[in-house]
Structure 1
Amino acid sequence: MRLLGRGGMGVVYEAEDTRLGRRVAVKMLTAVEGLTAQDAAWERFQREARALARIEHPGVVTLYDNGVHDGTPYLVMQVLDGTSLAELVLHSGPLPVPAACTVALGIAEALEAGHHKGVVHRDVKPSNVGTTRGGRVVLQDFGLARLAGEAAITRTGALIGTPQFMAPEAMRGVLPGPAADWYGLGACVFLMLTGELPFGQTADVGAIMERALGDGIRPLTGTGGLPQSLAGLVDELCRQDPERRLVDPRVVRDTLVPLTYGGTQTLADLVKRHVRDEAV
């Protein structure tokens, strides 16, 4: 029906499921073209897709189907009404604390559900966080790098992850684990609270990596206007050393929940205003 977006991994279309009469999102993984149903890589793709389908959580986008078309693997997923967190912050600026904590809590619960099933997201970033007009938070592209196969992606030159939100250990070439996802959450919360990218407005990957592996994301503790428990949480999530990074979902929840009062409605209002402005 229409193009929804493009990225390093592929292209996403809104489509109609003609059998069931519903709208869906179809993601063509153009970064890994050339598959056939007889390839070992295709069997692996199918295995990983089944692993993703086992994540049943309202905060994780639902996977309906998968297949291969002219050598390009594709995923058929739930389509969301609303906008991405990246677009929302770009349009609205820093989010009110209750809305930011509501989004953060949604991401954290989705990560916990995925990790419980043994699936690491590997690319937690604002453009992969959907926010709906009802104030729902949905994490998209869960495990997509693993699904498509890192080796195949690397051959195409596509970067696994986004430097602004990529954990330092992943930049060093270490296979990302759950701790890398929690770093991504911390970087997303930094963006929501400050309206700023973690390493400034630059497209220079080298400069971003130098800052990420050097001083890291600047601490928020001591920042005026922010609850210090929240500022401390962000700092703990964004620690460079994964061994010292906060990775306990219970601590994350206990810090965020008291700060979410009214956040769902505030988030819904912000999303609806953004969607309306975009339509106009």
Structure 2
Amino acid sequence: MIESVGGRVVADRYVLADRLGSGGMGTVWRAWDHLLQRTVAVKELHAAGGGSEQQAAMRRVLSEARAIARVTHAHVIDIYDLVEFDGGLWIVMELVPGGSLSERVRSSGLLSPVETARVGLEVLSALHAVHAAGALHRDVKPANVLLRADGSSVLTDFGIAALSDHTGLTGTGGVVGSAEYMAPERLRDQPAGPASDLFSLGVTLCFLASGQTPFARGDLTATSFAVAFEPPSVHVQGPLGDVIEQLLDKDPAKRPSGAQLADALQSIVDGAPHTVQATLRHPMPPARTNRRQRSAAGANRRRTVITGVLAVLVLLGGTGVTAYVAGGDPGSGSPNQPGPTSTGLHAGSRVDAVVPVPGVRGRFWVFSGSEYMVIEAGADPASARRVSGPAPIAQ
């Protein structure tokens, strides 16, 4: 039977046929299960590094894949088998032939608010089951939600979560997940939790209803900056837009819980969206702040972000490099237009924000006006150095 089907055979059982898709973390194949005589999907995981690093990655894969395999849920992909073969790990799972949500939007157009809310409820129920099993997904996005023949949603591609460490980054410094769908706490090297997956679900719902994601800027640097610091651009009106904006709060503690989100989405499906406000908002909303108060609050947040790296900037560029974090005039500073310092920035340059480079410990993006640069601070502050830049953010 194997010889008649042809193709590569994994573990003397799974005969690979056509390739269904490939990404940075793995390749998915349509395959024939010779033992049980059925068609399955087989994902070949690409673990970064080698030696002890690869072994550690494989242990994470086994641990989390086992947790997912114990989940029996209508909207979670069924995992059938885990195979170590040819120096790698292969996950054998249910084959869902209906395509993904991203393909559905490309081929048939945007989803209505009710359809979007219904998909949100299905993915939310899948995430609830996954979180209850002690796992996270970490890469919720339309491409990772498949559609069965009856139109129901199936959350898939859990291998990316298992290959990531506690910060959500690979051992080699690459970003695990898609930047425009990532929760800001993951870009800031803060612990991820169930609220991080809900943030990604909010971005997904925004794309389904509008065809746009709230933070996409065309390149990794600008997109990461937008996710971490800029308000979302939600081009969705009405109650669904309110729900999405709540999910995209920078503070995980301020996002709605799973139960609150389920109530809000169900109200949209049932045609009773007036319940959304009461469901998602606190009984005593905070007092309205004027523009000056909001500006001061934003300045405090920016000041907190850059404090830890100011010493590095001073070491690199001398005391002439000033971090204007209170929202003043970008052109303020020395009227004599001093020359560039060793950082590449001019003395008196405004440092708007500092963002950790995902996956590279001690390395930071420094944003100043329309430019950015990369600096590195090792264990010894005196070893601080400029890695690259300045370069235009739009580059």
Instruction: Give the TM-score normalised by structure 2.
Output: 0.59
TM-aligned CA distance change 1:68 to 1:106, over 3 Å: same
Structure 1 position 102 matched with structure 2 position 118: yes
CA distance in 1, matches of 2:207, 2:121: 15
Matches within 5 A, 1:2-41: 2-32=18-48
Moved more, 150-159 or 175-184: 150-159
Quote the residue 1:257 is aligned against. Answer: 266
CA distance in 2, matches of 1:239, 1:149: 24
Matches within 5 A, 1:112-123: 112-123=128-139
Deviations 1:203-230 (A, max 9, x none): x10010121122232245xx5xx4x332
Alignment match of 1:62 (pick from 49, 73, 78): 78
CA distance in 1, matches of 2:171, 2:113: 41
* Contact 1:32–1:73, Cα closer than 8 Å, also in 2: no
Quote the residue 1:73 is aligned against. Answer: 89
CA distance in 1, matches of 2:217, 2:101: 17
CA distance in 2, matches of 1:92, 1:261: 24
Deviations 1:215-264 (A, max 9, x none): 232245xx5xx4x3322111111111112112x222212122243369xx
The gaps in structure 1 that reach 5 residues or longer are: 263-280
Alignment match of 1:237 (pick from 235, 247, 262): 247
* Contact 1:31–1:153, Cα closer than 8 Å, also in 2: no
* Contact 2:82–2:89, Cα closer than 8 Å, also in 1: yes
How many matched pairs? 253
Paired AA for residue 51 in structure 1: A
* Contact 2:217–2:223, Cα closer than 8 Å, also in 1: no
CA distance in 2, matches of 1:199, 1:44: 30
* Larger Cα-atom Rg: 2
Deviations 1:257-277 (A, max 9, x none): 243369xxxxxxxxxxxxxxx
Instruction: Give the TM-score normalised by structure 1.
Output: 0.82
Moved more, 22-31 or 180-189: 22-31
Alignment match of 2:140 (pick from 114, 124, 129): 124
Alignment match of 1:207 (pick from 218, 222, 227): 222
Paired AA for residue 238 in structure 1: L
CA distance in 2, matches of 1:252, 1:194: 19
Quote the residue 1:216 is aligned against. Answer: 231
Q: Higher helix fraction: Structure 1 or Structure 2? A: 1
Q: CA RMSD in A?
A: 2.5
State the identity as a percent: 36
TM-aligned CA distance change 1:78 to 1:244, over 3 Å: same
The gaps in structure 2 that reach 5 residues or longer are: 1-16, 272-395
* DSSP 3-state at the match of 2:202: helix
Structure 1 position 147 matched with structure 2 position 157: no
Q: CA deviation at 1:198?
A: 2.2
Paired AA for residue 101 in structure 1: A
* Contact 2:202–2:248, Cα closer than 8 Å, also in 1: yes
